[in-house]
């Protein structure tokens, strides 16, 4: 369709005949999210609040559908880029945030860490140097005051405000560590997401990013699980995949909206989670929502 035809189609949304408006709405949905700029332009040009609300709903539906498809594609393509997956979660609330702005912020943190972390260091010293770059130089910290706020799951806000929940802080830390060539991966502990340094030769240890990069041993994880009255199964000790991390991020976000009593958004985020979760994932699911 030409631009003129698209604008004419959008104008028909104001028709008082509900059947015409419904049919036009279906046509617009079929055109996909490429039509959003035209809908936004129509919103700016009208003073009719009912028409504006109709346009807002259409824009949201198109953005939501596009996001769901992008998440499915990300999974089907192998879920290889964790940062992109977390950015996709980010776009649920902030669809205009560009991935390039995320990678630019990450590159700056990486450069500062690269100056401090050397390949010939002992792994503990590498982690301590990375901790210094992350917590002292860049001043990242746990958001303990407003722990369940949805903003803690928004990657661009955590990069800007330097405050986040365990998962989002770990994703940033993990991305930097892997760019440095460190064998650091995510671990799906119940109620707390942590990282592990796992090398073929050296003893495996763990990193609690939410507690300023505190180094933990396997015994510490044993004791943590004992306090929760949970059996020490392998999933609580070994690295998890990128898909599991993004799924957990969506669970955290849905839980945040539930805490705010925004059940509509909680339901939508759960729909996104369901779109990238199969029966096997449900069987393996642990109580993953992050807690203080």
Query: Based on the domain organization, do 47 and 132 belong to the same domain?
Result: no
pTM attached to this predicted model:
0.88
- Domain boundary among the residues 76, 94, 114 is at 76
Query: Based on the domain organization, do 45 and 123 belong to the same domain?
Result: no
**Residue 292 confidence (pLDDT):** 44
Asked if residue 140 is part of any domain, the answer here is yes
Query: Based on the domain organization, do 57 and 179 belong to the same domain?
Result: no
Asked if residue 34 is part of any domain, the answer here is yes
- Domain boundary among the residues 29, 51, 76 is at 76
Query: Based on the domain organization, do 108 and 58 belong to the same domain?
Result: no
Asked if residue 211 is part of any domain, the answer here is yes
Asked if residue 218 is part of any domain, the answer here is yes
In which region does residue 217 sit, left (phi positive, over 0), alpha (psi from -120 to 50) or beta (all else)? beta
Query: Based on the domain organization, do 153 and 121 belong to the same domain?
Result: yes
Helix/strand/coil (H/E/C) assignment for every residue in 11-63: HHHHCCCHHHHHHHHHHHHHHCHHHHHHHHHHHHHCCCHHHHHHHHHHHHHHH
Tens of pLDDT, residue by residue, the chain (292 residues): 788 888 888 887 776 777 877 777 778 877 778 888 888 888 888 888 888 888 888 899 999 999 999 999 999 999 999 999 999 999 999 999 999 999 999 999 999 999 999 999 999 999 999 999 999 999 999 998 888 899 999 999 999 999 999 999 999 999 999 999 999 999 999 999 999 999 877 789 999 999 999 999 999 999 999 999 999 999 999 999 999 999 999 999 999 999 999 999 999 999 999 999 986 665 455 555 565 4
- Domain boundary among the residues 33, 52, 76 is at 76
Cβ-count burial 148-175 (b if 16+ within 10 Å, e if not):
bbbbbbbbbbbbeebbbbbbbbbbbbbb
Q: Which domain holds residue 47?
A: 3-76
Asked if residue 290 is part of any domain, the answer here is no
The pair of structure tokens assigned to 219 is 């015994």
Residue 99 has phi, psi (to 5 degrees) of -60, -35
Query: Based on the domain organization, do 12 and 117 belong to the same domain?
Result: no
Positive/negative CA dihedral, 244, 245, 247, 252: positive
CA distance 130 to 115: 10
Query: Based on the domain organization, do 115 and 64 belong to the same domain?
Result: no
Asked if residue 208 is part of any domain, the answer here is yes
**Residue 162 confidence (pLDDT):** 96
Asked if 254 and 288 count as a contact pair (C-beta separation under 8 A), the reply is no
Query: Based on the domain organization, do 57 and 184 belong to the same domain?
Result: no
Query: Based on the domain organization, do 67 and 121 belong to the same domain?
Result: no
Domain count, the chain: 2
């Amino acid at each position: 369709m030409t631009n003129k035809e698209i604008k004419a189609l959008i104008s028909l949304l104001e028709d008082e005949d509900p059947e015409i408006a419904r049919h036009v709405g279906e046509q617009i949905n079929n055109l996909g999210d490429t039509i959003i700029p035209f809908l936004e332009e129509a919103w700016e040009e009208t003073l009719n609040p009912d028409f504006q609300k109709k346009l807002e709903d259409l824009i949201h539906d198109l953005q939501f559908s596009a996001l769901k498809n992008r998440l499915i594609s990300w999974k089907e393509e192998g879920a290889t880029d964790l940062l992109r997956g977390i950015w996709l979660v980010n776009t649920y609330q902030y669809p205009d945030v560009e991935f390039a702005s995320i990678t630019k912020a990450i590159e700056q943190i990486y450069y500062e860490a690269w100056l401090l972390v050397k390949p010939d260091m002992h792994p503990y010293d590498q982690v301590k140097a990375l901790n210094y770059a992350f917590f002292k130089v860049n001043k990242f910290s746990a958001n303990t005051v407003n722990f369940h706020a949805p903003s803690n799951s928004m990657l661009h806000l955590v990069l800007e405000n330097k405050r986040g929940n365990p998962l989002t802080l770990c994703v940033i830390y993990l991305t930097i560590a892997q760019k440095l060539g460190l064998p650091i991966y995510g671990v799906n502990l119940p109620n707390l997401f942590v990282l592990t340094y796992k090398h073929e030769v050296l003893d495996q240890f763990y990193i609690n990013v939410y507690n300023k990069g505190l180094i933990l041993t396997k015994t510490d994880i044993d004791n943590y699980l004992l306090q929760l009255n949970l059996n020490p199964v392998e999933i609580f000790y070994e690295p998890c995949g990128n898909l599991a991390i993004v799924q957990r991020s969506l669970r955290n976000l849905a839980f945040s909206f539930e805490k705010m009593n925004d059940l509509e958004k909680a339901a939508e985020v759960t729909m996104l989670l369901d779109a990238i979760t199969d029966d096997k994932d449900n069987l393996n699911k642990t109580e993953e929502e992050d807690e203080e």
